[in-house]
């Protein structure tokens, strides 16, 4: 399966891409929500998206709303990976349609645990 990593930080994209590659995913990346949507439209092999909340151009919440509004992406799993750690933000993201929420900082084990919960990795 291919995973799309969306984060405006090149360092964070590097960290997440390495973890996901080691787990066995093919990785593509984008720097903001609008670029992420373009990647998703171009590549029907993407089955999972890791998206940050605070992004330029189109933020992660708006990206999630756009993806969940399009039935073509019903099977795409969404995980928000964010520094936004308040309960209200997590609930808002879940209401918008994310499947899991990972708070920064995270460990590799946390990512694996969330993927395992979605049936996308061995726990």
Partner 1 sequence: MVHEEEILQIVQSIWMSILDLEIRLDSSADRRLREGGGRTLTGCVQLTGDFEGAALLDCTGKLAQRVAGVMFEEHPDALSIAEVQDALGELTNMIAGNIKPLLSGSSRLSLPSVVEGADYTLIVPGSKALLQVGFTCEQEPLLVTLAERCK
User: Which chain residues interact with partner 1 by CB under 8 A?
Assistant: 8-12, 14-15, 18, 54, 56, 82-86, 88, 104-107
Rounded to 5 degrees, what angle do the CA atoms 102, 19, 97 make?
Answer: 35
Closer of 46 and 98 to partner 1 (Cβ): 98
Q: How far is the CB of 74 from partner 1 (least distance, A)?
A: 30
Kind and range of the H or E run holding 71: none
Q: How far is the CB of 121 from partner 1 (least distance, A)?
A: 19
Residue 83, SS3? Answer: coil
Residue with tokens 């090149």: 10
Closer of 52 and 76 to partner 1 (Cβ): 52
Residues shown for the chain:
123
Q: How far is the CB of 88 from partner 1 (least distance, A)?
A: 8
């Amino acid at each position: 399966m291919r995973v799309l990593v969306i984060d405006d930080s090149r360092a964070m994209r590097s960290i997440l891409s390495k973890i996901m590659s080691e787990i066995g995913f093919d990785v593509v990346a984008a720097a903001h929500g609008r670029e992420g949507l373009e990647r998703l439209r171009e590549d029907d092999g993407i089955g999972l998206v890791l998206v940050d909340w605070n992004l330029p151009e189109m933020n992660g919440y708006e990206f999630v709303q756009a993806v969940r509004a399009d039935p073509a992406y019903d099977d795409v799993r969404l995980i928000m990976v964010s520094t936004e750690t308040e309960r209200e933000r997590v609930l808002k993201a879940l209401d918008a349609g994310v499947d899991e929420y990972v708070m920064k900082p995270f460990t590799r084990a946390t990512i694996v645990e969330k993927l395992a919960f979605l049936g996308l990795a061995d726990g």
